[in-house]
Amino acid sequence: MRVTVIAVGRTRAPYLDDLAHYEKLLRPYVKLDAIELRDDADAEQVTRRVPERAHCVLLAIDAPTRDSVAAATWLEQRRASGRDLCFVIGGADGLDLARADERLSFGPITLPHQLARVIVLEQLYRAHRILRGEPYHH
């Protein structure tokens, strides 16, 4: 499965080391593409970068949430569908994206968009570990 993460804004320290860590951990599970757009990228610019056949998930604070086990089940369903995945993380001002197939939240707190990118990768890694019956609590 190919996973694309589109982020508005460049990731900077201190998040770079965490991104590299989770990118490395995900290599056995998925082909990962990371796309960083300028801080002022709009919905049209983002939409052009979403892979054509990918199931597009927009991260949004006011969207439904999932716990880790539900996220693993959801990931298995996406994998069975045969479509790739694309996660879109808006910049500091958020983003409204009509192209999104669904919206997802990591909870009601506001996260820096750079940290949200790390969390996407960590949750993907955790979901894969759950699906394989491997330990995932560390």
104 is in an annotated binding site: no
Decide: pTM greater than 0.85. Answer: yes
pLDDT at 138: 46
pLDDT at 137: 63
Positions in the chain whose pLDDT score sits under 50: 138
Q: How many beta carbons lie within 10 A of that of residue 35, not counting itself? A: 15
109 is in an annotated binding site: yes
87 is in an annotated binding site: no
The per-residue b/e assignment along 53-92, b for 16 or more CB within 10 angstroms, e otherwise, is ebbbbbbbeeeeebeeeebbeebeebeeeebbbbbbbbbe
Cα angle, residue 90 at apex, residues 122 and 33 outer, rounded to 5°: 50
111 is in an annotated binding site: yes
9 is in an annotated binding site: no
pLDDT at 93: 80
- Average predicted confidence (pLDDT) for the chain: 94
User: Hey, which CATH number is domain 2-131, 3.10.20.440, 2.60.120.260, 3.40.1280.10, 3.40.190.10?
Assistant: 3.40.1280.10
pLDDT at 29: 95
Q: Are strands 31-37 and 55-59 parallel, antiparallel or unpaired?
A: unpaired
